[in-house]
Structure formats: structure tokens, C-alpha cells
Amino acid sequence: MEQHPLLELFYKKDYRTFKKKSEQYVPADIAELMEELSPKDTLLFFRLLPKDTAVEVFSFLPSKIQSELSGQINEKELEQLMEDLYLDDKIDLLEEVPAHIVKRILSNTPDRERHVINQFLAYPDYSAGSLMTIEYVDLKKKMTVEEALNYIRKTCLSKETIYTLYVVDANRKLEGILSLRELLVADDEETIENIMTREYISVSTHEDQEDIATVFKKYDFLALPVTDKETRLVGIITIDDIVDVIEEENTEDFHKMGALQKPTAEYLTASVPILARQRITWLLVLMISATFTGNIIRHFEDILQTIVLLAAFIPMLMDTGGNAGAQSSTLIIRGMALGEIQMKDVFRVIRKELMVSLMVGIGLAVLNFLRIAYLEGYPTDIAFIVSVTLLATVMMAKIIGGILPIVAKKVDVDPAIMASPLITTIVDALSLIIYFNFASFLLGFNG
Amino acid sequence: MEQHPLLELFYKKDYRTFKKKSEQYVPADIAELMEELSPKDTLLFFRLLPKDTAVEVFSFLPSKIQSELSGQINEKELEQLMEDLYLDDKIDLLEEVPAHIVKRILSNTPDRERHVINQFLAYPDYSAGSLMTIEYVDLKKKMTVEEALNYIRKTCLSKETIYTLYVVDANRKLEGILSLRELLVADDEETIENIMTREYISVSTHEDQEDIATVFKKYDFLALPVTDKETRLVGIITIDDIVDVIEEENTEDFHKMGALQKPTAEYLTASVPILARQRITWLLVLMISATFTGNIIRHFEDILQTIVLLAAFIPMLMDTGGNAGAQSSTLIIRGMALGEIQMKDVFRVIRKELMVSLMVGIGLAVLNFLRIAYLEGYPTDIAFIVSVTLLATVMMAKIIGGILPIVAKKVDVDPAIMASPLITTIVDALSLIIYFNFASFLLGFNG
């Protein structure tokens, strides 16, 4: 792999050219480069960047490196850095760094801002309050378009987004919103009052980030106002943070559906004990559940002893049941996450899964019968027992896989829990009960 | 459930109040309401909306309803509707509607735009070309800030995004970009040339949508320019479309990991045969694979006949192996999708999975031994065989689950295929081979 020109200059210690060249690169790319450096090099590299670039690069760094850097740079550098960070980035940083750095940062922060920061830090994780920024443009409804434009042109350097404008009254109650586009196309003499939209959508500070993401997806917003109980404007949430939220929520669902507990770090940086802890709980729970399935087999020891080849079909029945259930639960869990399937649809889901599973189950059962009886030459009664059990297993798996995620939501459990691992364990047990009972009955055994 | 006030007015046939009230609601919400209407009511409802609202509502409707409506409204209505739709929404619509409506729409489109539309329709699905819009603001570098602002204020009603501005030369080559914010804070007399950024990131028309989403996520963009081979600006992609792309790509991964083939419609609207077809291929493939696992059991019939209780541990071994493999493959697949894990990390992954699986496997094996030997009173040699097999299974499952997604990517197969269903089938077979061979060896059988 070729080395990045900036890294090359850095390692060649040609710091003068490095400084000059670094302005030509996009901050996000420079931040990515820095992740490959040793901790010692990171500090030197960062100090070599022109000040403006450094601030931007800093905001793109992973919180671990941000936190390390904040501990290493001196008081003055930290102060400068903090001054130029957007408030929401600063708060993210404060949530990551050790207590003594928090203290250092806050002691360099003006009183008024410190008060705001403390308020932010008190909002629960994953709430609108913890996602929002207070850097937005607020207008008064009596302003004219020209006044508003001049106001924006004078102040917008420090605002995270200027593309949606918020009209508030003297008590900071949100009266309306308008987009910068609407402002630009309006006549200079028009008043804000006449062009703002009074019907806006807002969220409260305690709203969950997943619900906020749903609002953004539905309305194609760039930003969304956050209000308190008295509908006073307290902040805004911007689309770039929501894109991160969407990926976070998806990762959480993937992990839950893969029988993993919430991770605390990225895979490659997480320690072995942390990765082990993330996995063992579910493995243990499911292992113990699976021993019940084993007990079912033990219960039917007699028939199995006489007709050992019944055991040969256990893996196929278990795997197909598990996969059939996983398909249905995946569809339902994902459909619910996207808001396409609601709780009221439970009967439509049951009806659909019944029909689909009948169709799929009969197809598989017939093929299976032909294969066992004719291709592999087993006795037809065995082929019949296996195939009927297969049909029953597929139907059961699909209906359970379809219902359980909806039931989970109803009792306020995350539907993603009801995915393949759990469904498989449940279906396995039921499938074997049907299999051995049916075999005992047809072959004249008493289980 | 209470009826929405608009629906209530509609069903009460109080059309005058309906018209007045409908302006108070957000278009996206009205579009959602319309999804519940019967096809006949849909047309009436739509015609009752004030024209400006109707156009906006239309752009939020699902393509199925858009297509139905386009077939029902008259020439003049269609023309008006098309005039006000953003070009990218229009193209999405043209991709959905039947041929005779395409013809009707295109015959109402000015020549120049028709040419552009035809070009768009030729871009491959899921490419930058099919995602982009040509409605962006282009400036010349010799313009002053004041000229640029006036130009924007005059033309921006018809532009999908005005918040990123593109500077092109006489041949439409992209020379630089700047944000509306940068324009606003600059002095009126400054020239665009002096404030634009010459280092911009762009994608080509054939770039895959998944890679484009990655660019947006990395740089926090609101829009991204699309250029052709000669770096001429041909369009832009906006963040709202990327949010949809991210969810689409995630859904695709969820489905692949749940052993489902690409669906063609939402779950609740998809027909039973379509849902069945989406599922049966994988079930069939995996069912046949699982019969190999069955053949392993058949191969060891003798030992199983003598020691039937060996069968009682098959479900536990299979399930735990499947779950252990699912955990690792989920972590790796998701890590690769987010760009956190690359192909070059394969040895780090193997090392990590080796350590984690050793830790988790020993834990589970010891607990399992104690339970089988002391709690359930099985002979200790059986408990020993089961527990050692369990350790081997967990380690194998985790290493296979960790490697296969990376190998898949290497040979250009989607890593998401290497998820729980396939890993489970592979691990099941290997686990039973170890189990019975080990048992035969320790208990003195010849398999």
C-alpha cells in the first residue's frame, strides 16, 4: 500500500511542506490518517496542523483520540480548541474524557456556556436533549426579510445550521419556522411573520433518538427543533447526527439479532474479555434452553434405540425449522423497525405466515419425501413421518417467528430479541416433540 | 382509534372545510393518510387538495399510489403536476408507471428536459446517476458575492438544494464548491473565485449507492456533486435520498442474514407467492445441506444404537455452535458494512476470535460438564466427551464465522450471505463429526 503524501512528509520530518500541504486535504481525511499514528506521533502531527484545520480535524477524530489529545495539549491550546468546537461536539467530548480533563475544559468555559453544558450533560443518553445543539438562528416575527438576512450574514459563522430558521417570541416560545430558501426568494420588505410556517413539527427533549430518526426519514428534514414542556425552543437536531443515529440503531438491531449484548467499543479495538462478556450471557441462556430439547430426545430413548435412523433426521428438522423461523422473524422485526408493520397488523401477519408457510412447507415436505423414500431408499413410513414433521415444523416456525416480535413490542421488549437464536431454540423443542410423538404413534410405540 | 380530522371531513363530504383545513397539515402526513383510502377515494381526495399542497403531497406518496393517480388524472392535471415535481422525483415516478403513462408524461415535457430524463433512465439502478438530480445552483467564478446572491434569489425556487453551490467553467467543468453559508458571510464585492474551495469530493455517475452513502457518512455532507469522465458537473445527490439508501442497504443486509432473497415489495403488500418465492430457495439449499449432517449421524449408527443418550446432546451442540458462529459472523459482517473491519484485518480477526472463543468455550464447557455429570448424573466419560466437543464446536464456529465473511468479500460475494443460516449448517456438520469420532475413540468403537 502506498503511503499518503501527508504521512510521508510527516515521517520525513519535512514539517514546513507538511504544514503547507495539509491545507489541501479535507479534514475528515486527515482525521482518518491520524488514526494510524502512534500516540506520540498523534500529538506532534496534530500540533503541526494549521489552527483552523486542526479544529476541524479534531471534530472528525474518534472520541478515544480526542480524549487522549485533550489530556496532552496545554491549557492554552485546549482553550483555543474548545472555543472553536461546535457545542454538540464539545458535549460529546465531555462525555468521553476523564474527570480531570472535564474540569480543565469547563474551567476555560464562560459561565453562561458552562451552565448550558451542564444542562446538556444531564439529558439521558439517546434522547433529543443529548443530540441537540443550541447553535441555531432565531428570528423575531416583526423583522423584515432584509433585516433577517443581514442578521444572518452577521452572525451565522457560529451557527451549526443556518438553513432552517426559527422564529421565537420574547419568552423563546417557538412561533414558526422558515427555510433560508424561503427567506431568500421573499421580497426584502416582507415581514417574517407573513412568510413563516406556523405548522411545524418539533420533538421534546426526552424523545428517544430512534423516534427522532423516524421523523427525519418521514419528512426529509435537514433539522428539527427541540422544545421543552412550555414549547420554548431549547435546541435543534441536525441531519448529520441523525445519519449516525440510524446506523447506531441498525447496529444495535444486528447485534441483538445475532445474540450479542450491547458492545462498548468497535470490534477491532475492543479487548478480548469485553468481547467474551458480550457473547457469553446469551450463549449460556440458549445452551441451557437447548438442554430441554435434549431431554425430549432422552424421553423418547426407547423408540430411538429401536429405530436409530430416526436420529439421522434431527439435524435437518432442527436446521430447517430454525431457518424458516429466522426468515419470518427477520421480515417482521425489520418491518417493525421501519414502521411498515404495526401491532394492529398482528392478524394480517398470522394469516400471511400461515399461507406462506403452508406453501413453502408443502413444497419442502414433498421434495423431502421423494428424496428420503426414493433417492436414499428409507422405508416410506419413515419418509412420511419426517416429511409431515417437516411441514408442521415450518408452519410452526413461521407463525412463531411472525408473532413473537409483535408480542415483544406489546410488552415493551425490543422485537429484535425475538430473532433467529431464540426462535430456533423454541422451534427445535417443539419440532422434536412433534417428531417423536408422531413416530411413536404411527409406529405403535408408547413414548 | 380516532379518525384524523381531515378524513372525517372527507367522509362527511364537507369539502369546503376540508380544503381550508388541509393547508394546515404537513404534506408528508397527508400522504400517509391517503395510503388508507380506497383507490376511488384516493383520486377524489387528491383533487380536493389545494394545488400547491397536492404537488407536495404527491412527492411523498408511495410509488404505487403515484402511478395509479397518474393514470387517472387528466392531461392538464398531469401536466401541472409534472411541472412542479423535482426532476429526481419525476424520474422515480417514470421508472414505476406503465409505458402508456410514461408516454403521456414525456409528451408533456419540454424537449430539453425530455433529453435529460432519457439520459437519467439509462443509468443503472443503485448508481449515482439514478440517484442524482440536475437541479442545483451553478455559479461562475468571476461573479461577485452580490451577483451570486441575486442570481440565487432569482432562480432558487426551482432548485432542489441551494445550500451547496457549484462553480463551473464554460465547459461545465467543476472548478470549485462553496456553501451558501460561506457566500453569506463574505463581503458583497468579493469574487466567487476567492472564496470557493478547490478541493472538493465528487463521485462518478456509475458509482454504487452504498459507496456514496459511505462518503456522506464520513464527511457529513448535505449534497455531493456527480461528475462525468471529463469532470464535468452532471448532477448532485442530496442527503434525503442518502438516508433512504442507508435504510435500503441495511434492509438488504438484514434480509440476506435472515436467509431471504431480495424482496420486491413491503411485507404487508407483497403477495403470498412472492413471499414464498423469497424464502424457498435458501430453505431448500440449507435443507439439502443439513441432510449431509444427517448422513454423519447415520454413519455412526452403531455407537448411537449402543449409547442412545449420546443423541440427547445433539440439539445442545448444534444450537450452541450455531449461536456462537452467528455472533462472530454478525460482528464481522456489520463491522465490514460500516467500514470498521477491512480485508487486511483478517489475521487480527482470527487471533481475536481464537482468544474470545477459547475464553467463552472453556466457560461453557466447564459449566456444561458440571451440569451433565453432577446435576443430571450422566457418566463422567459422556460428560467429558460432550464438553470437549462443545469447546471445539464453539472455537470452530467462531473462527469460521469470523473468517467466512472476509473471504466472501475477497471473492466479491456479499459478506452478509455468510451469516447465521449458512454458518450454522457448516458448523453443525463439523461439530457432529468431532462428537462421534471423539466418542468412538474414547469409548472404543470403530465408526
* Min Cα separation A13/chain B (Å): 25
- Whether B222 sits inside 8 A of A239 (CB atoms) is yes
The Cα–Cα gap between B176 and B200 comes to: 7
Region of A220 (left: φ > 0; alpha: ψ -120 to 50; beta: rest) is: left
Identify the weakest region by mean pLDDT among A30-39, A156-165, B53-62: A156-165
What ipTM was predicted for this assembly?
0.80
- List all residues of chain A from 355 to 394 with a beta carbon under 8 Å from chain B: 355-356, 359-360, 363-364, 367-368, 371, 394
State pTM to two decimals: 0.80
Strand partners, A168: A174
C-alpha triplet B261, B262, B265: angle, nearest 5°: 125
Run of H or E residues at B178: strand B174-179
pLDDT at A174: 93
For residue B348, which residues of chain A lie inside 8 Å, CB to CB? 268
**Residues comprising chain A, all counted:** 447
Contact B192/B167 with Cβ under 8 angstroms? yes
* CB-CB neighbors (< 8 A) of A332 in chain B: 267
**Mean pLDDT, residues B128-152:** 88
Q: A432 and B315 in contact by Cβ < 8 A?
A: yes
Establish if B187 touches chain A: CB-CB under 8 angstroms: no
Express each pLDDT in B141-180 by its tens digit: 999 999 998 888 888 766 778 888 999 998 889 999 998 9
pLDDT computed for residue A395 by the predictor? 96
Give the per-residue pLDDT at B380.
Answer: 92
**CA A58 to CA A27: how far, in whole Å?**
8
Q: How confident is the model over A383-412, as pLDDT tens digits?
A: 999 999 999 999 999 999 999 999 999 998
* Cβ contacts of B429 on chain A, cutoff 8 Å: 315
Instruction: Indicate yes or no: CB of B259 within 8 angstroms of CB of A320.
Output: no
Rounded to a whole number of angstroms, the distance between the first and last alpha carbons of chain A is 66
Element (H, E) at A136: strand A136-139
Q: Is B185's pLDDT higher than 90? A: no
Please report the beta strands in B205-339, taking only residues with DSSP state E, as ranges in sequence order.
223-227, 233-238
Which of A218, A242, A287 would best serve as a mutation to test chain B binding (most B beta carbons within 10 A)? A287
| Predicted local distance difference test score (pLDDT) of residue A362 | 96
CB-based burial, B347-379: b 16+ in 10 Å, e otherwise: eebeebbebbbbbbbebbbebbbebbbeeeebe
**B171 inside 8 A of chain A by CB:** no
Split at pLDDT 50, 70, 90, the class of A356 is very high
Q: Give residue-wise pLDDT tens across range B306-339.
A: 888 899 999 999 999 999 999 999 999 999 988 8
CB contact under 8 A, A319 and B420: no
Give contacts of B 5-64 with A, CB under 8 A: 24-26, 28, 32
Cell, residue B397:
464456529
SS3 A126: coil
- Measured between alpha carbons, how far is B71 from B78 in angstroms, rounded to an integer? 9
C-alpha A161/C-alpha B222 separation (Å) is: 11
pLDDT of the residue at B264: 66
Q: Is A360 in contact with B276 (Cβ distance < 8 A)?
A: yes
Given a cut of 70, whether residue A201 has pLDDT beyond it is yes
**Which of A284, A352, A360, A362 is best to mutate for the B interface (most B CBs within 10 A)?**
A360
pLDDT band (50, 70, 90) for residue A2: low
- Residue/partner pairs of A107-113 with CB below 8 Å, 24 or more apart: A108/A75, A108/A78, A108/A79, A108/A82, A109/A82, A113/A87
CA B42 to chain A, closest CA, distance in angstroms equals 20
Average pLDDT over residues A295-315: 89
Output the CA–CA distances (angstroms, integers) from residue B138 to A235, A337, B143, in the order listed. 32, 39, 11
Instruction: Identify the closest residue of chain B to A270 by CA–CA distance.
Output: B352
Helix/strand/coil for B438: helix
Residues A102-109, mean pLDDT to the nearest whole number: 74
Question: Measured between alpha carbons, how far is A7 from A20 in angstroms, rounded to an integer?
Answer: 13
Q: What is the pLDDT of residues B31-64, one digit of tens each?
A: 888 888 888 888 888 888 888 888 888 888 887 8
Cβ distance of A222 and B242 shorter than 8 Å? no
User: What angle do helix axes A314-337 and B239-257 make, rounded to 10 degrees?
Assistant: 160
Cβ-based contacts of B418 with chain A (< 8 Å): none
Domains within chain B, CATH numbers bracketed: 5-130 (1.25.60.10), 131-238 (3.10.580.10), 272-442 (1.10.357.20)
DSSP readout, B291-318?
A: HHHHHHHHHTHHHHHHSGGGGGGHHHHH
Residue A56: pLDDT band with limits 50, 70, 90: confident
Q: Average pLDDT for residues A72-84, to the nearest whole number? A: 79
**All residues at 6 or more sequence positions from B118 whose CB lies less than 8 Å from its CB, including other chains:** none
Chain centroid to Cα A435, Å, comes to 40
